[in-house]
A and B are shown apart, each in its own frame.
Chain A
Amino acid sequence: MTGAQAAAAQVAAATAAEAYQRIVAALIRITGDWTLAEDCAQEALALALDRWPVDGVPDNPGGWLMTVARNRALDVLRRGTVERRKLRELAVLALTAATAEPEREEIVDDRLRLIFTCCHPALPLEARVALTLRTICAVATADIARAFLVGESTMTRRLTRAKTKITEARIPYRVPTGPALTQRLPGVLAVLYLLFTHGYNADGEPAFADEAIRLARLLARLMPDQAEVHALRALFLLQHSRRHARRDAAGDLVPLDRQDRSRWDHAAIGEAVGILDELRESELRESEPAESEPAKPGPYALQARIAACHATAASVADTDWVGIADCYDRLAHLQPSPVIELNRAVAHGYAYGPAAGLDLLARARAGGELDDYPLAIAAEADLTARAGDRVRAAALFRAAAAGVHSDAERRALLDRADEA
């Protein structure tokens, strides 16, 4: 391969990711056929990788790919005998009428529509995540299957089933408006969040976290008025900023208070803090929200603010615990859950002293849902140690250690028991 050919191959690869989602989204809108859209987009990319190194890169690589994919779709539809007749006629008409490249706005809209369709609540949750990865992020089915711990053929079947339901139950290819958007957006954000945690967890695919951040960025650009979209993006950036510091050489989790803060990604933290500052300003500008509007700040904004308090603190002692406790108070009100109550108790323990924390913790555990949750015992142990009861704290640390699954966590808790 010559230098020019290598450069052409590089352009093709770089254009690919961005062009792929746009082509797939546009072809799905026009033909309603997901498989056809994916196949044609992939064929266009393959042809580009083949031809560009020889013929040179066209002036408008994205447009070139779109034209090739569209012509390929037309060929298939014209020859097709199995596709539904009526739909086919409509699609051929639309494809013929489509000019060189759709307007920029329309492309953007297509991708947003596609996100809402992939994340429709009538699809099983896991299928939503998989379909988003496959259709919008163009992740290979084999890679998605690995992340979900299933075989490739199982994942292929799952994706096919989801696409069949979209077609046969006629799940619309549309972004809902008005109150329907308020109801549906949290579901879309939950899929993105799940995607992120699939990348963030120890056994996950790290690339998925990058995909989730990219999607959140896209969504924020497409729906600039939705505060929770910006908040989710900030939350991702903040959690992701610790990626180089949150595991030790053996791959074990390092707790926040022992992480080397100089290894955090301070550029990402700065970006996230900027997003949160803007959100706060726009909250102040706005008058009382209408009844159908979600409460402000929303749950992702609160989680992001908590993460920002940690991310901008020089040390655990320097952390704005009063700010964190306030966020947990509001979060517990918006989304009551035992785990949030537990975190709230810990935050209050740091902000207002161990007695306040222990008091809230006792109330959080009264329901019994935290009974088999070793982190609740560990939190009680920590608060008890800081309250000065070393003997009881050591016993609690040992009890918590007996309940955790990871060796590293157990060692860390036993160390604390010895220190107490």
Chain B
Amino acid sequence: MKYLMFVCTDTEPDTDPAPEPDIHRWVAEHDASGQRLQGMALAPKSTATTVRVRNGQTLVSDGPFAETKELIVGFDLLECADLDEAIEVARAHPMARGGRIEIRPQADWDR
């Protein structure tokens, strides 16, 4: 089962003084286990561009599509047996403490 992990910022990060997990180690570990298929960090929101097509017209505008305080700063594509396994992978990511992580399963069109 494929899950996409949206790595987001959060206005209330963890205040625990314990050091956050190392991101390079997280990537190496989950690449090796086969649970992380790919992923990347994203450039700041000032580089975002939004594209819409309305009545045949392409509308291009500046900025991320949603005005939210929590911003997507990266993503990882996971391959996990079930949601609990995906949660285990997500909770080990440093941004689970520095921000928040949203896990979404791949849509199943074969129903």
Q: Which of A86, A169, A180 contacts B83 (CB 8 A)?
A: A169
Provide the bound-state CA to CA distance between A86 and B1, in Å: 14
A26 to B84, CA, bound (A): 21
Give complex CA distance A174, B87 in Å.
15
Partner of B84, one of A83, A85, A168, A180: A180
Given A122-B83, A176-B84, the answer on whether A168 and B108 have CB atoms closer than 8 Å is yes
Restricting to B1-58, which residues have a CB under 8 Å from any CB of A?
Answer: 1
Contacts of A85 in B (CB 8 A): 110
Total number of A residues with any Cβ neighbor in B under 8 Å: 15
Do residues A84 and B84 form an inter-chain contact, with CB atoms below 8 A? Answer: no
Q: Is B82 an interface residue (CB 8 A)?
A: yes
Q: How far is the CA of A275 from the CA of B107 in the complex (A)?
A: 48
Candidates B1, B81, B107, B111; contact of A82 at CB < 8 Å: B111
Q: Is the CB of B84 within 8 A of A172?
A: yes
B3 (CB) vs chain A CBs: closest residue = A169
Smallest Cβ-Cβ distance to B80: which chain A residue: A170
A84 touches B110 (CB 8 A): yes
A168 to B106, CA, bound (A): 8
A interface, by DSSP: helix, strand, loop or mixed? loop
Asked if A168 and B82 make an inter-chain contact with CB atoms under 8 angstroms apart, the answer reads no
Rounded to whole Å, the gap between the CB of A164 and the closest CB of chain B is: 10
Q: Specify which of A84, A86, A170 lies most central, judged by the most chain B CB atoms within 10 Å of its CB.
A: A170
**Minimum CB distance partner of B103 in chain A:** A169
Is B64 engaged at the interface, CB distance under 8 Å to the other chain?
Answer: no
Chain B contacts of A82 at CB under 8 A? 111
B74 within 8 A of A: no
Q: Which residues of A contact B111 (CB under 8 A)?
A: 82-84
Can you list, as one digit per residue, whether each of B87-108 has a CB less than 8 Å from chain A (1) or not (0)?
1000000000000000111011
Min Cβ gap B15→A in Å is 16
Chain A minimum-CB-distance residue to B110: A84
Determine if B110 and A172 form an interchain contact, defined as CB atoms under 8 angstroms apart.
no
* Contact among B81, B87, B108 for A84, CB-based, below 8 A: B108
Tell me if B82 and A171 are in contact (CB < 8 A): yes
Cα–Cα, bound, A120→B1 (Å)? 19
Residues of chain B with a CB closer than 8 A to A170's CB: 1, 81-83, 105
B110, A171: Cβ atoms closer than 8 Å: no
State in angstroms the CA–CA spacing of A221 and B107 once bound together: 39
How would residues 71 to 88 of chain A score, 1 for a CB under 8 Å from any chain B CB and 0 otherwise? 000000000001111100
User: Which residues on the B side are within 8 Å of A176 (C-beta)?
Assistant: 84
CA A382 to CA B98, docked complex, whole Å: 47
- Residues in B whose Cβ lies below 8 Å from that of A169: 83, 103-105
Write the chain B residue with the least CB distance to A171: B83
Q: Give every chain A residue within 8 A of B104 (Cβ-Cβ).
A: 169
Q: Pick from A84, A120, A168 the residue with the most CB of B within 10 Å.
A: A168
Could you tell me the distance between the alpha carbons of A168 and B2 in the complex, rounded to whole angstroms? 11
B1 nearest in chain A by CB position? A170
Pick the most buried of B81, B83, B108: most chain A CB atoms within 10 A of its CB: B83
Which residues of chain A (150-186) have a CB below 8 Å from chain B? 168-172, 174, 176, 180
Give the distance in Å from the alpha carbon of A176 to the alpha carbon of B87 in the complex. 13
Q: Which of B1, B81, B103, B105 has the most CB of A within 10 A?
A: B105
Interchain CB contact under 8 A, A168 and B110: no
Distance A83 CA – B111 CA, assembled complex (angstroms): 6
Complex-state Cα separation, A33 to B107, whole angstroms: 17
How many angstroms between the C-alpha atoms of A122 and B103 in the bound complex? Answer: 10
Contacts of A86 on B, CB cut-off 8 Å?
110
Note all chain B residues with C-beta closer than 8 A to A180. Answer: 84
Give the residues in chain A near B105, CB-CB below 8 Å.
Answer: 168-170
B2 nearest CB across to chain A (Å)? 10
Can you name 5 A-B residue pairings with CB atoms under 8 Å?
A170-B83, A171-B83, A172-B83, A172-B84, A180-B84
Binding site for B on A (CB under 8 A): 82-86, 120, 122, 168-172, 174, 176, 180
Given A172-B81, A172-B83, 12 more pairs with CB closer than 8 A: A82-B111, A85-B110, A86-B110, A122-B83, A168-B105, A168-B108, A169-B103, A170-B1, A170-B81, A171-B83, A172-B82, A172-B84
